[in-house]
Structure 1
Amino acid sequence: MKWQTSGSILAAQLAIEHGWAINLGGGFHHASQLKAEGFCLLADISLIIKYLWKYRNPDLKFMIIDLDAHQGNGYAIDKSILLSKERDQIYIFDLYNKDIFPNNAFAKLAINEHIEISSDIQDDEYITLLKKNLACAFNEYKPDLIIYNAGTDVLNGDPLGNMNLTITGVIDRDQIVFEHAKTNNIPIVMLTR
């Protein structure tokens, strides 16, 4: 997990330099700087942000797009304890299954756009919700880097995600996110754990 976390930070730097990068690990969205949780030991998403603020530019703005089946509570908790100016530099878009772990009400307060869905959602409804709400998010906020947590536990049959998307639905989902990045000329780092 240390190597995967380092990979997330490196991929974010490469995304800024080249427009996009993917880390096949990372995306430990339940870990916060305060504690490990839900199979996530290190808060790589929060570490990306802190690293880039320290070594690149303290004024960088981030949009976290989390399309893993679970609510991204770790980085949301980390956002909530930042100074007001820093909190304004992070926009969180989280589309998740409301019927599963972690259901963290405190973390939810730090999520700018939280779309709660149920386990039985199908591709068409999911994609429609994603398109509509993601367009609103980009109208509201212009980041310097997109951190895309692209969990595949949304796939039909995954016992932890308990959702119903097909492989085609997941591919469409990823394409929508990358199209927004390209259309808005915003670098994107994708984390796939």
Structure 2
Amino acid sequence: MLKKLQKGFTLIELMIVVAIIGILAAIAIPNFIKFQARSKQSEAKANTKAIFTAQKAFFQEKDRFSSLTGEVGFEPERNNRYAYYLGNGGSLEDRATSTIVNAATFTGINVDIFKYGVGTQGATMVTSPCTCTGGAAGCNVPGIDPPPSPAFNAGAVGNIDADSTVDVWTISSGSRVFTVTASCTADANNPSGEPANDQNDVNL
């Protein structure tokens, strides 16, 4: 009786399979990285909206807005990848250790570098690449306009993909109109209370 020969894969067939896997990986991996980065942006969206809500609630009681995180009651959960700014050039809550020291003078919250090790931001928010009109003075610069025309801007900055570009978000009590350019990724019309992605780290 003749034995049946077992047929295996030829070298060419194996090379074709490896090439196909390589092509699929080249397409899928960058898309996965972008998807992962976009999921991290949800933190900035949620927390800038929380700033807006806290400011509005504070205004109902005090008839003014505040650039102090403790005064308006903005204290996001730890593990934050973004730094948050209610004012510009003040001092940020330090999250470099396991214990947070609260102070009445904080105008923002720094990145939780106790968790991530890197990513700390300066007390002055990085300059947005956008120009716009509306909102408080400066339009996309964190700060407060006092009565009789009270308004506020707030912002968030974080590095979500470990490159040199940062992700920049702003929000305002007033509606704003942005001049959209290659470096400014915000939508042209930005309603009051809607976070604007001034500089999208996912695409830049």
- Structure with the bigger percentage of strand: 2
The structure number with the bigger radius of gyration is: 2
- Structure with the bigger percentage of helix: 1
Report the TM-score when normalising by structure 1.
0.30
Report the TM-score when normalising by structure 2.
0.29
